Amino acid sequence: MQFLVKRLIAGFLALLIVTMLVFGLSRIHGDPRTLLISEDATQEQYDELGRHLGLDQPLYRQYLLNLSHLIRADLGNSILQHRPVEEILLSRIPNSVFLATVAFLFATLIGIPLGVLAAVNRGRLWDHGIRAFAVLGQALPIFWVALVLIYIFAVGLSWVPASRNNGWSSVILPAITLGWFGASGQIRILRSSMLEVLDSEYVRLARAKGSTERSVIWKHALRNALVGPITFAGLTLASLITGSIVVETVFSWPGLGLLAVQSVTNSDYPILQGVILLVAIVYIVASLIVDVLYTIIDPRIRI
């Protein structure tokens, strides 16, 4: 319990530090008025905007003002699109969630069978092949994998579109790219926890009482071995967030990641700030859920 409280405090502090950082950087970036106001504005309008934004106040007051805006989900206006940032973010979230969900399902659907297969065939060809698959999935740069897949399946074979969101066929390549990366971690963890479980007393007992090999592996062993990947599922999710920024960029997938990268190119700081805060919240909450799962699922684990 004490551990969870500590984690909660750390997560909250991290969020606070992110807001400070984002605020500090926006001030280094320069007077926000130069970006918000047209060049032919009068001095009165300029001063009026300054008062409105609280620029006549000391810096810590400005930060608190900024924070109170954030708490009310008022993220300001996009410099380029002249629309509220919340609105733009909301329009992009479904795309990111769609991609992340498909990728996560794909990672789980191939990760679990392959992890089990590797453990059961330990030391044999299957095991070596699957482990190579997992090492490659985590070592190859995501953007390169994405480009190779585009080159083979979109350019060479023209099976699927290379970019943008046009429904199910266009989610396949980005989801495979992200999913391979996610599955690789799951495979490695599941394989080692499966090996440990297969060696345990109750699996031996199940075998001794005459259960079929299939029931021993998929019922008795896998259920217990799944603790490993489940506790890492949240972290996998968090890493998928980072990976999806790169994947969305390569596939021009109109989600939050692409939005962030585009706002860097356009110097559209309010949007970038919005994406950072949103992703930071998701990231921190995901890590917290992992920590909670960690202690609930397996009470023996006390980090």
Partner 1 sequence: MTYFEFESKTCDVNINSSVSRIRQVRRWPLFSIIVIAVLIIFAVFAPLIAPHDPKIGELEDRHVPPLFFGGTADHILGTDGLGRDIFSRVVYGSRVTVSIAALALGVGCVIGTLLGIVSGYYGGWVDEVIMRMVDIKFAVPLILIALALVVSLGSSLGLLLGLLVFMVWGHFSRQVRAEVLVIIKTDYVSAARLSGASPIRIMSHHILPGVISIMVVVGTLQVGAIVLAEASLSFLGAGVPPPTAAWGSMVSDGRLYIVTAWWVSLIPGLAIGMLVVSITLLGDWLRDRLDPQIRQVQ
Q: Please identify which residue in 19, 95, 96, 287 interacts with partner 1, judged by CB under 8 A.
A: 287
Q: Which positions from 134 through 163 interact with partner 1, judged by CB under 8 A?
A: 135-136, 138-144, 147-148, 150-151, 155
Total residues in contact with partner 1, by rule CB under 8 A: 71
Tell me, residue by residue from 6 to 45, as one string, x for binding to partner 1 by CB under 8 A and - for no binding. Answer: xx-xxx-xxx-xx--xx--xx-xx----------------
The span of 3-11, 91-99, 107-115, 211-219 binding partner 1 (CB under 8 A) equals 3-11
User: What would the x/- binding string for partner 1 be over residues 237 to 266, using CB under 8 A?
Assistant: -xx-xx--xx--xx---------xx-xxx-
Q: What is the CA radius of gyration of the chain?
A: 24
The CB-of-42 to partner 1 minimum distance in angstroms stands at 28
Q: Give exposure, 201-236, as e/b (b: 16+ Cβ within 10 Å).
A: eebeebeeeeeeeeebbeebbbebbbbbbbbbbbbb
Does 284 sit near partner 1 (CB under 8 A)? yes
In angstroms, the CA 278 to CA 73 distance is 10
Distances (CA, A) of 14 to 7, 10, 246: 10, 6, 23
Binding mask 175-214 for partner 1 (x = CB under 8 A): ---------xx--xx--xx-xx--x---------------
Residues in the chain: 303
| Angle of the 125-139 helix axis to the 168-198 helix axis, nearest 10 | 130
Rule CB under 8 A: say whether 272 interacts with partner 1.
yes
What does each C-alpha distance from 296 to 9, 51, 151, 292 come to in angstroms? 19, 51, 44, 6
